[in-house]
Amino acid sequence: MTSAAVEILGLGLGILGWVGVILACGLPMWQVSAFIDVNIVVAQTIWEGLWMSCVVQSTGQMQCKVYDSILALPPEMQAGRALTVIVALLGLVALMVTVVGAQCTNCIRPGKMKSRIVIAGGAIYILCGVLVLIPLCWFANIVISDFYDPTVPSSQKREMGAALYIGWAATALLLFGGCLICCCSCSQRDETSFPVKYSAPRRPTSNGEYDKKNYV
């Protein structure tokens, strides 16, 4: 019962991480304009994401524009698009695989195959966390490098947006949930891999010899 509860907890964390990745993928706040000039009056804020860029006016109005060309995008945006879409699809696969092999479902008879399927689902969740971590760290590295680069104009300096932090939180949920699923399934398989054997006590017969039915 405890292993089933831990398995459900890991599945729930994996689902939350998967939703967080989709949310981070769609948000246009991967990098935002940095205000480092003290004496300048800022009238607008620039947001840049994987799919569009937005300009937010000081009055609250926001205008967004989808990028015109995919090939003209920098490499980190192209890789971020590809990896986040792959993670979104793999997360759906991991959800279906884990539900099929979960202890709370009867899709497959209990046994080694059922635990192996659950381990596969947890491994896919861990793979999703590793894949989505690549564009997040890539973007963060570029933003920090440009921010401290004296050759980059102040108007082109950017800061890390909220989408990066949401993506890192989703990565932690995916990794932790996948590890819980794998560890719970491995412990359950170890418990069921050694069945208890019963051997009947040997009782002598009337002539002092042991009965042959006691030997199997």
pLDDT at 187: 63
pLDDT of 91 higher than 90: yes
Q: How far is Cα 158 from Cα 29, in angstroms, rounded to an integer?
A: 11
Does residue 200 lie within any of the structural domains? no
When divided into structural domains, the chain yields a total of: 1
CATH code assigned at 150 = 1.20.140.150
Q: Which domain holds residue 28?
A: 4-189
Question: What mean pLDDT is predicted for residues 109-132?
Answer: 88
Lowest mean pLDDT among 21-25, 61-65, 160-164: 61-65
- Asked whether residue 89 is domain-assigned, the answer is yes
Q: Is 10 within a domain?
A: yes
Cβ neighbours of residue 179 closer than 8 Å, sequence gap 6 or more: 10, 122, 126
Q: For residue 78, is it within any domain? A: yes
Residue 210 lies in a domain: no
Residue 130 has pLDDT above 90, yes or no: yes
Which alpha helices (DSSP H) does the chain contain, by range?
A: 2-26, 75-101, 112-147, 162-192
Query: How far, in whole angstroms, is CA 161 from its chain's centroid?
Result: 20
How many CB atoms neighbour CB 18 within 10 A? Answer: 25
Would you tell me how many other CB atoms lie within 10 Å of the CB of residue 27?
20
Q: Is residue 196 part of a domain?
A: no
Cα separations (Å) of 19 from 16, 22, 156, 163, 179?
Answer: 5, 5, 31, 13, 18
Is 213 a member of any domain? no
Q: Is residue 130 part of a domain?
A: yes
Which is more confidently placed, 203 or 194? 203
Q: Single out the residue of 190, 4, 189, 174 nearest to residue 102, CA to CA.
A: 4
